[in-house]
Amino acid sequence: MFVRTAGCDYRCSWCDSAFTWDGSAKEDIKLMTAEEIYDALLEIGGHRFNHVTISGGNPALIKGIQELVDLFEDKHIYTALETQGSRFQSWMTQIDDLTISPKPPSSGMKTNLEILDSVINQCTFHSLNLKVVIFDDADYDFAKLIHHRYPNIPFYLQVGNPYLDDNVDQHTDKLLERYEQLVDRVMQSSDMNHVYVLPQLHTLLWSNKKGV
């Protein structure tokens, strides 16, 4: 199951969830308590789930996430969360699978490495991983910098999705071609060992469809 928060402190050029902060989906955004969110998940999934991913936007900006994380703990729900690492919140140490995804140059955003250091140093290392999305050579160089800066943290590269229209011809084929190119590049590199290379799984399954 998936909970998406609204609002972000970044404006990434290729953001595939810009509707969470650009006003285009303001009629669909709801202010909900932790209990209301849990009830909505039960209505959708019944008791057929025990894992919830929280993403955004940037969930680290949202008041009330502490209550939601506490509620998931009480209900024995496994939690995953993704954030860009621009802000630390104490509840991050309660997340079972925390992904920090600093944004590369193609995003148009600039990562403050001192802030990123501070956020990472306050996190629980056994649940932490890093991910960088790759669109071009500059992104790949940025990913190497991040990997070498934090060599003991599990590190993922993810292929960027530049095809953001609602309907894209042969979308899966295009993404898999980019994925294969990135895999080949990492395999030929001696300074990107201990790196996992992944596609964006939900786009392979559902393309750019929302609400799935």
Determine if residue 17 is labeled as part of a ligand binding site. yes
Determine if residue 123 is labeled as part of a ligand binding site. no
| Rounded-to-integer distance, Cα 192 and Cα 111, Å | 20
Question: Is residue 80 in a domain?
Answer: yes
State pLDDT tens for residues 136-194. 999 999 999 999 999 999 999 999 886 666 666 778 788 888 889 999 999 999 989 99
Determine if residue 96 is labeled as part of a ligand binding site. no
Determine if residue 102 is labeled as part of a ligand binding site. yes
Best CA proximity match to 105, nearest among 79, 70, 69, 142: 142
Quote the mean pLDDT of the chain.
91
Determine if residue 90 is labeled as part of a ligand binding site. no
For residues 189 and 202, the model is more confident at: 189
Count the helix, strand and coil residues of the chain and give each as a percent rounded to the nearest 5. Answer: 40, 15, 45
Question: Is residue 78 in a domain?
Answer: yes
Question: Is residue 140 in a domain?
Answer: yes
User: Region 4-9: what's the mean pLDDT?
Assistant: 94
Global pTM reads 0.88
Question: Is residue 108 in a domain?
Answer: yes
Question: Is residue 211 in a domain?
Answer: no
Question: Is residue 112 in a domain?
Answer: yes
Question: Is residue 19 in a domain?
Answer: yes
**Number of folded domains that form the chain:** 1
- Residue 196 is part of which domain span? 2-206
CATH of the domain at 132: 3.20.20.70
User: Region 109-118: what's the mean pLDDT?
Assistant: 97
Determine if residue 14 is labeled as part of a ligand binding site. yes
Question: Is residue 29 in a domain?
Answer: yes
Determine if residue 4 is labeled as part of a ligand binding site. yes
